[in-house]
Amino acid sequence: MPAKQHTVLDSPYGPLTLVATDGVLSALYMTDQRHRPPEETFGVPAPEPFGEVISQLTAYFAGERTTFDLPLDLHGTPFQRSVWAELLKIPYGETRTYGELAEELGKPGASRAVGLANGKNPVGIIVPCHRVIGASGSLTGYGGGLDRKQRLLAFESGGGRNDGVQPLF
């Protein structure tokens, strides 16, 4: 059975629970996140495997980093993993629609399935599911809540300013 560990990190968007499986980041959950598993599945509390994750998140929230360079252990169906791989290609400060992602995957009629896979992304922020919007440009769905999605998009489009909210690290 894989060894799991977790730690909780304060952020401008509320506490983030980081989970590692065998020492590799496998989840980043926000409070009240849809599809958040029970806390007893997060493993033992331990900050050791999260040093680089915390460092990169701190730089991101300070507006000093626009990409992440972290090993990830993402568990999902092959289709979900293909959607998550496409999410990683969306540049900082830009958005894509569910339909555009479906087109990129060669499945132009699968925007709804893309949305479902997007919602199951286990590593929010780092795998930037917040950068996906509705066809009309509307903010539709976000596992961490639409308020967080709006704030993350505003942060990225504003050149890395947290609207006066200072990182809590």
Catalytic residue among 19, 87, 90, 129: 129
Q: Identify residue 134 by its one-letter amino acid code.
A: G
Integer Rg of the chain from CA: 15
Residue 52 falls in the annotated catalytic set: no
Q: Take residue 152 and report the two structure tokens written for it.
A: 């993350």
**Active-site residues: which are they?**
129
